[in-house]
């Protein structure tokens, strides 16, 4: 019997000195003279589920892209499995990506193929597995997210929550060691949100993987993760376990966690004096 090749080019992480899977060291990133990340330091241990929270535009998604190798830091280093991502060759980078999974906001399923084909995509592209085996694996992955019965449907026929779950099945198709989630709870109803949250935890633990969740959904995230990094304006302003953050008295964290209308993030957009504005308009 012909030996099955699972990986065309294996990514072998170097023996970790620490048990951190991802290390971000003093990373700066600028895009067209706009400084997005200004000296970010973080470390994510193996097996952990970590949330990176903050307002839109603080650089969370950019950080994910840096870890995935889609962007290069202007300064500093991003290491995955001990190897600097920016210095990898093309083949090494693609080998690394086969061990990573990324769930995009709104799923990003391929609209021209069925759910089955979407989940089978990576298996067909990167492995030599026979069709029967792929069939079993795809159905298993869909079963894990509760959508085995929907495997024939096209992405356009799915609801938002269902599409997100199929995308989750697709992300974990090759049992990745690092899974990244970009706003996984965005735009979902409460039931689907709960489902996704539980699936993230369950998949992480059963695969023995490490997960990074970028979100601004405080309630779900704090319930689910082991550790939180809080970003604002390109730097990490605070970090800690969910319990620590819930009782934090730092004004920005407090405003964010409790959803306060006014605080370090002002409610009012900068404007002229109110009285003067009304008078000026009344006169004209």
What residues line the site for another protein (CB under 8 A)? Answer: 68, 70, 94-95, 97-98, 100-102, 104-106, 108-111, 121-122, 125-126
The minimum distance between CB 98 and another protein, in angstroms, equals 5
Nearer Cβ to another protein (181/256): 181
Please say which residue, 97 or 165, places its beta carbon nearer to another protein. Answer: 97
| Least distance to another protein, CB of residue 93, Å | 8
CB of 104 to another protein, least distance (A): 5
Shortest distance, position 145 Cβ to another protein, whole Å: 17
Shortest Cβ distance from residue 15 to another protein (Å)?
Answer: 24
> Of the two residues 65 and 148, which places its CB atom closer to another protein in the complex?
65
- Which CB, 48 or 122, lies closer to another protein? 122
Given the complex with another protein, which of 108 and 222 has the nearer CB atom?
108
Q: Got the DSSP string for the chain? A: -PPPP--SS---PPPPSSSEEEEEEEEEEEETTEEEEEEEEEEEETT-EEEEE--TTSSHHHHHHHHHTSS--SEEEEEETTEEGGG--HHHHHHHHHTEEEE-TT----TTS-HHHHHHHHHHHH----HHHHHHHHHHHHHHTT-GGGTTS-GGGS-HHHHHHHHHHHHTTT--SEEEEESTTTT--HHHHHHHHHHHHHHHHHHT-EEEEEE--HHHHHHH-SEEEEEETTEEEEEE-HHHHHT---HHHHHHHHT-SSSSS-SSPS---HHHHHHHHHH-
């Amino acid at each position: 019997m012909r030996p099955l090749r699972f990986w065309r080019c294996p990514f072998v992480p170097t023996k970790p000195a620490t048990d951190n899977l991802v290390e971000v060291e003093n990373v700066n990133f600028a895009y067209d003279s706009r400084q997005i990340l200004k000296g970010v330091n973080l470390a994510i241990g193996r097996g952990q589920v970590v949330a990176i929270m903050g307002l839109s535009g603080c650089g969370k998604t950019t950080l994910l892209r840096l870890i995935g190798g889609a962007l290069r830091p202007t300064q500093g280093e991003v290491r995955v499995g001990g190897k600097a991502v920016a210095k990898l060759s093309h083949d090494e980078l693609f080998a690394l990506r086969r061990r990573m999974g990324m769930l995009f906001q709104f799923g990003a399923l391929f609209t021209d193929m069925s759910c089955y084909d979407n989940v089978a995509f990576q298996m067909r592209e990167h492995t030599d597995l026979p069709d029967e085996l792929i069939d079993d694996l795809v159905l298993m992955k869909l079963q894990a997210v509760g959508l085995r019965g929907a495997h024939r449907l096209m992405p356009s026929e799915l609801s938002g929550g269902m599409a997100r779950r199929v995308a989750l099945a697709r992300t974990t198709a090759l049992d990745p060691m690092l899974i990244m989630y970009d706003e996984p709870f965005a735009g979902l109803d409460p039931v689907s949100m709960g489902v996704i949250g539980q699936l993230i935890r369950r998949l992480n633990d059963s695969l023995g993987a490490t997960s990074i969740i970028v979100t601004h959904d405080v309630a779900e995230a704090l319930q689910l993760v082991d550790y939180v990094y809080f970003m604002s304006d390109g730097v990490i302003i605070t970090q800690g376990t969910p319990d620590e953050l819930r009782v934090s008295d730092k004004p920005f964290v407090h405003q964010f966690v409790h959803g306060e209308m006014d605080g370090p993030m002002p409610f009012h957009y900068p404007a002229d004096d109110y009285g003067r504005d009304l008078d000026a308009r009344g006169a004209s």
